[in-house]
Amino acid sequence: MKAKITVLNPAGFPPKVTRKELAPRLPTLEGKTVYLVDCRFDDSDVFLKQMQAWFAEHMPGVRTIFKPISSVYLNDDPATWEEIKARGDAAIVGVGH
């Protein structure tokens, strides 16, 4: 008698993705506040802090705020998104390398 093994398909079932339009582009960043959102993915904080230094050197009229989300990238952070809507003009979300 030969042994039987059970094999599972590792492909899984991808979730349905609903397309969203990009936010409208601002005519200028001059005088605006741009949030640099760290989603706590590998090294995204390092990249965003370099970006913040670039803005300070090359576009001093743009205010940047480095903002880590409250948890890890797998968890939503509604409070951060509300803060950006209320106080910011734009956001750059860093997701690492």
pLDDT 10s digits, 50-62: 999 999 999 999 9
Residues with pLDDT less than 70, the chain: 96-97
Ramachandran angles phi, psi of 58, nearest 5°: -100, -25
What local confidence, expressed as pLDDT, does residue 74 receive?
78
The pTM of this model reads: 0.77
What local confidence, expressed as pLDDT, does residue 83 receive?
97
Write the DSSP assignment of 43-96 as a string of letters.
Answer: THHHHHHHHHHHHHHH-TTSEEEEEE-SS-TTS--HHHHHHHHHH-SEEEEE--
β-bridge partners, 68: 38
What local confidence, expressed as pLDDT, does residue 97 receive?
57
